[in-house]
Amino acid sequence: MLLVCVLACGHAVTPAPSPVSVILAGPTIAADSLRIAATDSFGVALARHLAPGANVRVVSNRGALDLIDGGGDVVVTDRPSVIRYAASRSDFATIPLPWDRQYVLVSPGTPPTPDVLNAVHAEARIPRAQCAQVFDGPMRPITYMAGDSIARSIAERFVGTGLATSAIPLGHAAFDRALASEDHGWYLVARPAGNDTCAFGALKAQPLIETRSELIVRRGAVGVVADTTGSMRLETTP
């Protein structure tokens, strides 16, 4: 009878919204009124996904600690010192976010790689995807994005174990140009986690580690919910 009425009246059945679970209770406020910071560009993207329309600024480790002390609402970071400090305070909650980035070695071949899991100062795991290592030499410098502390630590491990001749930091634009030139160099690239491909354009991609950030939220400042897929968001109003 209901189906007949729906068809006759020309109304579509509105699907039920995805159920959400409350991770952290809090008020619902405007996204642009929140004080949100992240400690790198990946964190900025995560924060904007958690709270569309929010104003997010990049801060140093010291800046993140100052934001916590100064009444800030949200920090997205993978920096252990910031996470430890927030976890030590009863007025903040620290919530692990899904694994979000994978660091890969991009090169013409697939040179041998050192164990870098313990070289980085962030929560990390070995990726499920591994690619065959076929190395025809010689060792080369390894280039990484300046300002990426995880990439720097990986590059230093390569050099320290004799698997690269030197580590070269480049600014964002210079790094992108060098990578696009496919000039047979070695590059450390951060890409979304779960990417299992062993190719990067005409070059090879060797997955090294995956990392994730933590969501640091002042209790009572904003709510955090997750949907049935595990995707989290901050409870805000338009």
pLDDT of 18 strictly over 70: no
pLDDT at residue 100, as a whole number: 84
pLDDT digits (tens, 9 = 90+) for 36-57: 999 988 889 899 999 998 999 9
Place 8 in a pLDDT band, splitting at 50, 70 and 90: very low
pLDDT at residue 158, as a whole number: 94
pLDDT digits (tens, 9 = 90+) for 204-228: 899 999 999 999 999 999 999 988 7
pLDDT digits (tens, 9 = 90+) for 125-169: 999 877 876 666 678 899 999 988 899 999 999 999 999 999 999
Bigger pLDDT: 6 vs 55: 55
Domains of the chain: 20-98+213-237 (3.40.190), 101-211 (3.40.190)
Taking alpha carbons only, the member of 226, 179, 181, 166 closest to residue 205 is 179
Q: Which residues of 166-204 are buried (b: 16+ CB within 10 A; e: fewer)?
A: ebbebeeeebeeebeeeeebbbbbbeebebeeeebeebb
